[in-house]
């Protein structure tokens, strides 16, 4: 026979409680796994027929010879007179406005080693900003900075220089 003092040990009491709870959980899980609940009847399946598919519209005929004549890789490498557009697309090309470089003012330059070179510029009389090679100010990109001269390029690629000390 087991003595009563053995059951007074807290660790043994905790272990027995855990064993009882584990056994109860295992029995409950087994009962829930074996119980089958009734499933309601589903609606009969409906299959799509060919009538449900959208009708296919015939594509418009393309003028292949016109496309081939405007070959991108032509020997003279000149761009075509008119831009090729897919049928149905509108021509959205807008003529670029002439750029007024008089808006840009170079106040001074500092030439140093590497990235220490910068220029102080103002656009349309706005506040002065410090720009480095590759920075943009308005529509202009700084291409190079030399002593007293800054070279800019426009969006179209046109390059021009502005002297910091015009005389």
Q: Quick count: other Cβ atoms within 10 Å of Cβ 74?
A: 11
Q: Mean pLDDT check: name the lowest of 24-33, 49-58, 86-95, 125-134.
A: 86-95
* Higher pLDDT, residue 109 or 96: 109
Q: What is the mean pLDDT of residues 12-41?
A: 92
Edge-first strand order for the sheet with 140-146 is: 136-137, 140-146, 149-153, 159-163
pLDDT of residue 23: 97
CA–CA dist 108, 87 (Å, integer): 52
pLDDT of residue 58: 73
Q: Which among 128, 135, 130 has a CA at the least distance from the CA of 118?
A: 130
CB contact set of 141 (below 8 Å; sequence gap of 6+)? 134, 135, 152, 153, 154
**Confidence class for position 66, pLDDT limits 50, 70, 90:** confident
* φ, ψ (nearest 5 deg) of residue 161: -115, 145
Q: Where are the beta strands (DSSP E) in the chain?
A: 104-110, 118-123, 129-131, 136-137, 140-146, 149-153, 159-163
pLDDT of residue 119: 93
* Higher pLDDT, residue 6 or 13: 13
pLDDT of residue 87: 73
State the average pLDDT for the chain.
81
Q: Mean pLDDT check: name the lowest of 2-11, 20-29, 157-166.
A: 2-11
pLDDT of residue 88: 72
Q: What is the mean pLDDT of residues 147-164?
A: 88
pLDDT of residue 67: 72
């Amino acid at each position: 026979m087991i003595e009563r003092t053995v059951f007074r040990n807290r660790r043994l009491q905790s272990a027995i409680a855990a064993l009882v709870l584990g056994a109860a959980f295992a029995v409950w899980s087994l009962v829930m796994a074996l119980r089958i609940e009734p499933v309601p009847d589903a609606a009969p399946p409906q299959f799509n027929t060919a009538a449900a598919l959208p009708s296919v519209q015939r594509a418009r005929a393309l003028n292949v010879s016109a496309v081939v004549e405007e070959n991108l890789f032509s020997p003279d490498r000149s761009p075509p007179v008119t831009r090729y557009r897919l049928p149905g697309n509108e021509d959205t090309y807008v003529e670029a406005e002439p750029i007024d470089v008089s808006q840009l003012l170079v106040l001074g330059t500092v030439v140093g080693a590497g990235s220490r070179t910068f220029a102080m510029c103002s656009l349309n009389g706005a506040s002065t900003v410090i720009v480095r090679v590759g920075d943009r100010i308005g529509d202009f990109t700084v291409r190079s900075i030399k002593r007293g001269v800054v070279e800019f390029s426009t969006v179209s690629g046109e390059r021009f220089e502005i002297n910091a000390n015009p005389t």
